[in-house]
Structure 1
Amino acid sequence: MAPKVLISDKLSDAAVQIFKDNGIEVDFMPELGKDKEKLAEIIGNYDGLAIRSATKVTPTILEKADKLKVIGRAGIGTDNIDKDAASKKGVIVMNTPFGNMITTAEHAIALMFAVARQLPEASASTHAGKWEKSKFMGVELTGKTLGVIGAGNIGGIVCNRARGLHMKVIAYDPYLGEDKADKMGVEKVELDELLKKADFITLHVPLTEQTRNVLSRENLAKTKKGVRIINCARGGLVDEEALAEMLKSGHVAGAAIDVFSTEPATDSPLFNLPNVVCTPHLGAATTEAQENVALQVAEQMSNYLLTGAVENALNMPSVTAEEAKIMGPWLKLAGHLGSFIGQMTDEPIKAINILYDGSVSEMNLEALNCGVVAGIMKRVNPDVNMVSAPVVAKERGIKISTTNQDKSGAFDGYIKVTVVTDKRERSIAGTVFSDGKPRFIQIKGINIDAEIGAHMLYTTNEDVPGIIGTLGQTLGANGVNIANFTLGRAAPRGEAIALLYVDELVSAETIAKLKDTGLFRQVKPLQFDVA
């Protein structure tokens, strides 16, 4: 059955057509996002949800979204999506961080000009038939110091444009390296230094607990007298009441604000101040940007629903379409290894250690880790997936560690998973053969070569005669057909294991009969999703 996507905000017709051209069923209901009750009522019918900023994806909505696999936000900000709830539900959250970079950066530059030259006030005065030339004395940008808070994608473009205006650019960004700053032609500084030196300050960071109120009352007081402030990033980065007071006092000469702590902003302490330019969240509001992000989100969601490619996800490692093709068998193997360990482990898990050897060590290990953890966590909750499993593991205090190494054995590459509990460590390793089929190659340090089937039986025993016969006779007598039979042992007459691929689930009665023979230390039926 073809995937089904709901578009609950205004997206371009071209984006709708992209879904259709990819064979995805799409319902375009651009006003639905404003109706929370109706959205909750129908969201359970969809595999994907494409939105802008009007739709609020709350835990209540997600609770009803039993089929939902992906939410695509046409734009950068995802404040309207409860990402924690989406992750727990196993829903990927994507945005489109590159489609409106130029537009938002240009709007910041435009606002900087507007506040420097008082353009909106001058325009309104002139439209009113006045000629107040001496009233609107502005300042030049040339030679001024621009302080950029956040020198990432959009902030980097602003830096470049400002240098073209012959401004001196300083930047505060904890993730900006000295080499990168040199290449950008900006001076990297700490926040206090930026506040002290900048003639203009522009913000280009997401709203997080670390960035909330980055321009607080305390920090605004540290700014240079006569500073002008521009915010085209997110509401909540600036203390609006404190900013209004400092504008009235003259400490801050002007502000240009495109985003507000509450939107739509129908009331704000910044409104009607003569030295403030306000726009209604227009940073991405150009024809080009709106089209770009709409097309981008449609392509990203289509790729994920059809090929498993993950682009610009906020709660899962990105996996390109090419990576998805190459990694597909390895992701399956990762899940099978995790599933084996999960089904074998009854006590609480303290740690998961994952070793990648050879060719697989050069792949997207974050995604593979998610596959392993998902396989393990299905023991706790059958509904977990690669998105929700790391959240479940973290909630349970499980530590996850990864090691990668060059080829060290007979296989071109392999994955080994070890779990640690209070009682024991348990490990299993596997590889992918040239035919693309995953195989188990080691259990408890004992080498094997086992094909993976939907139904399997695992036994441990002392290496003595009669094991094969007992297994074959007991299973046959109870109507269980053996598709593949793999044996391994640590040493002659030492510990031995058997892993059988069977055509049907082995019943509890058959398991009891095998245990009653007294030959087996452990008899465990296993199931794997091999679809």
Structure 2
Amino acid sequence: MAPKVLISDSLSDAAVQIFKDRGIDVTFDPSIGKDKDKLLAVIDQYDGLAIRSASKVTEKIIAAATNLKVIGRAGIGVDNVDIPEASKKGIIVMNTPFGNSITTAEHAIAMMFATARQIPEANASTHAGKWEKSRFMGVELTAKTLGVIGAGNIGSIVCDRARGLKMKVMAYDPFLSEDRARQMGVAKVDLDQLLAQADFITLHVPYTEKTANILSAEALAKTKKGVRIINCARGGLVDEAALAELIKSGHVAGAAFDVFAEEPATENPLFDLPNVVVTPHLGAATTEAQENVALQVAEQMADYLLTGAVSNALNMPSVTAQEAAIMGPWLKLAEYLGAFVGQLTDEPIETIEVVYNGIAKDMNLKALNCAAIAGVMKATNPDVNMVSAPIMAKERGVELSTTTQDKTGVFDGYIRLVVTTPTRTRSIAGTVFSDGKPRFIQIKGINIDAEIGQHMLYTTNKDVPGIIGTLGQTLGENGVNIANFTLGRSVREGEAIALLYLDEQPPAHVLAKLKATGLFQQVRPLQFDAA
């Protein structure tokens, strides 16, 4: 059955056609996004939801979205989506962070020009029939210092454009390396240095706990006299009331804001102040940008629903279509390893370590980690998936670590999962053979070669004669057929294990008979999702 997608906001006809051309059943009804009750009533019918800003995907909507797999936001802001709740439900939330990058960067540059030359006020004065040429004395941008807070995608474009205007550019960004700063032709500085030296300051960071009020009253007081401040990023990054007071006092020469702490902004401390340019969140408002983000979100959602490729997800590592094709068996292996340990573990898990060896270490490790954690957590919650599993693990205080190794041993690559509880450590390793099928290759340090099936039986025992016969006879007498039988031991008469691939799950009374023989330390049935 074809996946079903609801477009509840205005997207272009070309975006709708992308879904149709790729065989997805799409419903295009922009009116639904403005009616939360209507959205609530129909959301359970869809696998995907494509939105802009009008649709509010609340906890209540997500709770009703029993079939929803992906939410795609045409644009960068996802303030209208309850991402934590979506993650708990295993719903991927995507945005399109690059579709409006140039448009937003250009708007910031335009706003900088507007406040530097007082263009809006001069325009209004001239329209009013005045000719106040001497009133509007501006400043040049050439040779001025621009301080860019946030040198990511949009910020780096602003840096490039500013350098083209012959400005001196400095950037504050904790994640900006010295090498990257040199490539961009900017000076990497700390925030206090930027505040003290910049003639213009422009913000290009998301709104987070760390960036909220980054230009606080205290920070603004450190700015150079005559500075002009531009914010086309997010409301809440600047203390607007404190900035207004500094404008009134003459310390700040001007400001240009496209975003505000409260929107729609019908009133604000910055309104009606001299040389303050304000626009109604127009950063992405160009024909090109709106078309780009609509097409991008349609492609991303279609890719995920049809191939499993994940792009620009906010709550899951990205996986390209090529990676999804190559990594498919390895993702399944990671989940199987986690499922094996999860089903054997009856205590709280303290740590999960994933070791990637050989070719496995060069894959998308974040995605493989998510698959492994999902396998572990499914033992206690069958509905968990790669999106929700890391959140569940974090909520339970589970610590995750990752180790990579060059190729060792006979396999081109393998994954080992080590899980620690208060009383013991469990270890299992696996690989993918040339036939594309995952295999278990080591349990508890004991080498094996076990095909993985939907129904399996795991036993541990002392290495003594009669184990194979007891297992075969007991299962056979009770109509349980063995598809594959794998044995392994540490040393002769030492610890031994058996892993049986069965055609059906053994009934409880059969397991009881095996335990009653006294030969086995563990007799554990295991279930794995069919490959």
TM-score of the superposed pair, with normalisation by structure 2: 0.98
Q: CA deviation at 1:174?
A: 1.1
Q: CA deviation at 1:409?
A: 0.6
Counterpart residue number, 1:272: 272
Q: CA deviation at 1:134?
A: 2.0
Distance 1:33 1:262 in 2: 21
Please list, as runs of the form range in 1=range in 2, the aligned pairs for 1:207-356 lying within 5 A after superposition.
207-356=207-356
Please list, as runs of the form range in 1=range in 2, the aligned pairs for 1:21-170 lying within 5 A after superposition.
21-170=21-170
Q: Which whole-Å deviations, capped at 9, do the CAs of 1:152-191 have from their partners, x for residues lacking one? A: 1111111111111111111111111122212212111111
Counterpart residue number, 2:400: 400
Gaps of 5+ in 1: none
Distance 2:499 2:316 in 1: 33
Please list, as runs of the form range in 1=range in 2, the aligned pairs for 1:352-431 lying within 5 A after superposition.
352-431=352-431
Moved more, 106-115 or 35-44: 35-44
- Which amino acid letter does the alignment assign opposite residue 164 of structure 1? G
Structure 2 residue 454 is the aligned partner of structure 1 residue 454:
yes
1:523 alignment partner, SS class: strand
Q: Which whole-Å deviations, capped at 9, do the CAs of 1:348-374 have from their partners, x for residues lacking one? A: 111111111111111111111111100
Please list, as runs of the form range in 1=range in 2, the aligned pairs for 1:424-443 lying within 5 A after superposition.
424-443=424-443
Q: CA deviation at 1:29?
A: 1.8
Distance 2:50 2:97 in 1: 15
Distance 1:530 1:254 in 2: 63
2:205 alignment partner, SS class: coil
- Which amino acid letter does the alignment assign opposite residue 52 of structure 1? R
Q: Which whole-Å deviations, capped at 9, do the CAs of 1:383-422 have from their partners, x for residues lacking one? A: 1111111111111111111111111111111111111111
- Which amino acid letter does the alignment assign opposite residue 162 of structure 1? A
Counterpart residue number, 2:480: 480
Q: CA deviation at 1:436?
A: 0.1
Identity %: 77
1:133 alignment partner, SS class: coil
Gaps of 5+ in 2: none
1:134 alignment partner, SS class: coil
Distance 1:372 1:396 in 2: 16
- Which amino acid letter does the alignment assign opposite residue 166 of structure 2? H
Q: Which whole-Å deviations, capped at 9, do the CAs of 1:266-311 have from their partners, x for residues lacking one? A: 2212222232111111111111111111111111111111111111
Q: CA deviation at 1:100?
A: 0.9
Distance 2:184 2:422 in 1: 52
Q: CA deviation at 1:35?
A: 2.0
- Which amino acid letter does the alignment assign opposite residue 24 of structure 1? I
- Which amino acid letter does the alignment assign opposite residue 38 of structure 1? K
Distance 2:115 2:327 in 1: 52
2:480 alignment partner, SS class: coil
Moved more, 312-321 or 39-48: 39-48
Moved more, 466-475 or 207-216: 466-475
- Which amino acid letter does the alignment assign opposite residue 308 of structure 2? G
Distance 1:79 1:109 in 2: 25
TM-score of the superposed pair, with normalisation by structure 1: 0.98
Q: CA deviation at 1:133?
A: 1.9
1:139 alignment partner, SS class: coil
> Size of the alignment, in residue pairs?
531
Distance 2:448 2:189 in 1: 58
Distance 1:250 1:118 in 2: 15
- Which amino acid letter does the alignment assign opposite residue 188 of structure 2? K
Counterpart residue number, 2:18: 18
Q: Which whole-Å deviations, capped at 9, do the CAs of 1:213-238 have from their partners, x for residues lacking one? A: 11111111111121111110001111
Distance 1:197 1:102 in 2: 26
Cα distance change of structure 1 residues 271 and 31 upon mapping to structure 2, 3 Å threshold: farther
Distance 1:250 1:227 in 2: 10
- Which amino acid letter does the alignment assign opposite residue 313 of structure 2? A
Distance 1:268 1:9 in 2: 28
Distance 1:522 1:176 in 2: 53
- Which amino acid letter does the alignment assign opposite residue 242 of structure 2? A
Distance 2:459 2:452 in 1: 15
Q: CA deviation at 1:131?
A: 2.0
Q: CA deviation at 1:4?
A: 1.2
Moved more, 181-190 or 104-113: 181-190
Q: CA deviation at 1:452?
A: 0.6
1:524 alignment partner, SS class: strand
1:496 alignment partner, SS class: strand
- Which amino acid letter does the alignment assign opposite residue 493 of structure 1? E
Q: CA deviation at 1:211?
A: 0.6
Structure 1 runs, 4 residues or longer, greater than 3 Å off = none
RMSD: 1.2
Distance 1:11 1:264 in 2: 22
Distance 1:262 1:9 in 2: 22
Counterpart residue number, 2:184: 184
Q: CA deviation at 1:333?
A: 0.4
Distance 2:283 2:307 in 1: 33
Distance 1:455 1:296 in 2: 42
Distance 2:29 2:218 in 1: 45
